[in-house]
Amino acid sequence: MLLVEIARTSAAVAATAARKAKIELLAGCLRAAGPGEAPFVVAYLSGELPQRQIGVGYASLRDVPPPADEATLTVPEVDAAFTGIGAVAGKGSVARRRELLAALMGRATHEEQDFLIRLLSGELRQGALEGVMAEGIAAAAKVPAAEVRRALMLRGALGPVATAALADGVDGLRAFTLEVGRPIKPMLAAAAPSMEEAYEKAAGEKAGGGEGGEAAVEWKLDGIRAQIHIARPPGGEPRIAVFTRTLDDITGRLPEVVEVLRGLPVRDAVFDGELIALRPGGRPHPFQVTAARTATRGRRDGGGGGGGGDGAERVPLSVFLFDVLHLDGEDLLDRPGSERHAALARAVPEELRMPRLVTADPAEAKAFFDDAVARGHEGVLVKSPGTPYTAGRRGAGWIKVKPRHTLDLVVLAVEWGSGRRQGWLSNLHLGARDPETGGFVMLGKTFKGLTDELLAWQTEKLRALAVREDSWTVHVRPELVVEIAFDGVQRSTRYPGGIALRFARVLRYRPDKSAKEADTIETVRAVAPVFD
């Protein structure tokens, strides 16, 4: 397949707001690509590289050679070029990467150059998000979308799923199974502004609310989501792997966690849970301390903007497991939540399980929430006992409740500070995801809640993400997620979404989340009342 076909599909997808039309365009491109080149098509049209990072920044994209007159670049050639650029290291690597990039760009037409620049700069926003792409794969292969979504949960990547669907249809998709040792995409929670609303939804969930309108209520910790895989060969020591919600392997950083898990009386298992740094009295350390222990790229990147101090890496993490997806040879994904928890209780001692209450009394649920908050935790998760484990689901099965309004938003740009903050990037432009367009809706700006340590960290981080700048504002790739507290939402004619956050303030950065996991504009409108 020629790269120009992907570039034209991208432009066509961006030009239409209709979800069905986007799906049809994606499906047509995937069918033309076939199983062999489908992974590249999926990645590029999702705005990603199979290599993830190749060391090309905005500065390298400023000056490109004149475009080619004729489209000759094939998709495998582009992928090989990206791999070659990413492999360059050592002295003179910057110049060599620019040389290789120029050679690639010199073979690209103007149309292809524009596509490549937007792909490499992170500005390819056309609405081909994971959910739309999954439906595009289903349409291309003429298989049910539910089969694609389940395969995606189990495999964790769209490329292999697209190849299997196009090559072997439903049979190919059903070949993906839960494998101990390979992480799967985690189930997610929706949000509710109050315990009353969350409890009413979960207790009445059609997927199987408990008898008598029961719901389960669990602590929501300010920790790191952890998926834990244990495989014990006959007569041997158990092999243990710990993965983050982004499927990164962090096992090597957590010897004390591995040691705790080693003692569980299981042959093989996959658990879902949280890891958190606790003080001697049981109250949580700041999130940065936990994040510093689990960072995959060093303490600063994982520290949530400020690390956890020089001693953060020595603070042990506590394990709280709340779900089990596989146990001793049996997959439990499709079992109701109540059955999975019963299996969890049989395999895991109480001190390693997330505190939980199952009740039909909303007042008891509210008291449990108040107690969790009083202990210093974020809030609770309210769960329907009948809900199966479904990756990415944000229905009424799992609902998170916090005592304050918070959102996970994406930094779109940042302004240089003045006065005491001169020389630092300070005032953040905040955006919510728009699932319809694949872009972001700006909701306002804030510089509140930023310590000197956070200012220094975000200045370094955001400069690395810059795509263009002037004397006042630096526009960045929309990758950095920040948790924002706010008092409400007000109507606004200043921003395109028609609303703005009231009294927004930074709580922390979320390096454990990708921009795809940021809250949507619909969530913003639903999570808090609108003030005139």
Whole-Å CA distances, 511 to 246, 409, 411, 466, 482: 10, 12, 12, 17, 8
Interval 298-334: pLDDT, tens: 333 333 333 334 444 579 999 999 999 999 999 999 9
Residue 443 has pLDDT above 80, yes or no: yes
Rounded Cα gap, residues 505 and 483, in angstroms: 9
For residues 392-413, average pLDDT = 85
Could you report the per-residue pLDDT of 335-346, keeping only the tens digit for each?
999 999 999 999
pLDDT at 121 over 90: no
Token match 């953060």: residue?
312
- Is 51 or 264 the better-scoring residue by pLDDT? 264
pLDDT at 54: 87
**How confident is the model at residue 271, as a pLDDT?**
98
Give helix 19-45 / helix 130-141 axis angle, nearest 10°. Answer: 100
Query: What domains appear along the chain, each with residue ranges and CATH number?
Result: 3-174 (1.10.3260.10), 190-277+316-401 (3.30.470.30), 405-531 (2.40.50.140)
What residues contact residue 80 under an 8 Å CB cut-off, 6+ apart? none
Q: What is the token pair recorded at 337?
A: 């939540």
Residue 110 pLDDT more than 80? yes
Q: Which amino acid is at 203?
A: A
Proportion of the chain above pLDDT 70, given as a percent: 92
Q: Residue type at 399?
A: I
**Cα separation of 144 and 467, whole Å?**
39
pLDDT in tens, 265-306: 999 999 999 999 999 999 998 887 898 888 754 333 333 333
- Cα distance between residue 288 and residue 457, in whole Å: 13
Q: 414: closest CA among 405, 399, 402, 424?
A: 424
Given a cut of 90, whether residue 171 has pLDDT beyond it is: yes
CB 275 within 8 Å of CB 290: yes
pLDDT at 211: 47
The region that residue 488 occupies, defined by phi over 0 for left and psi between -120 and 50 for alpha, beta otherwise, is left
Give the pLDDT of residue 210.
44
Q: What is the DSSP string of 65-103?
A: PPPPSS---BHHHHHHHHHHHHH--STTHHHHHHHHHHH
Q: What is the pTM assigned to this prediction? A: 0.73
Q: How many CB atoms lie within 10 A of CB 472?
A: 9
Instruction: State residue 173's pLDDT score.
Output: 96
Largest CA distance in the chain: 71
The pair phi, psi for residue 152, each rounded to 5°, is -65, -40
Give the residue with greater pLDDT, 3 vs 396.
3
Output the average pLDDT for the chain.
Answer: 88
Look up residue 466 and give its two tokens.
């810059």
Provide the pLDDT for residue 45. 92
As annotated, the active-site residues are: 220
Count of residues making up the chain: 532
In this prediction, residue 125 carries a pLDDT of 66
pLDDT attached to residue 43: 92
Looking at residue 265, its pLDDT comes to 92
Burial 303-327 (b: 16+ CB within 10 A, else e): bbbbbbbeebeebebbbbbbbbbbb
Q: Which of 480, 473, 466 is nearest to 62 (CA)?
A: 466
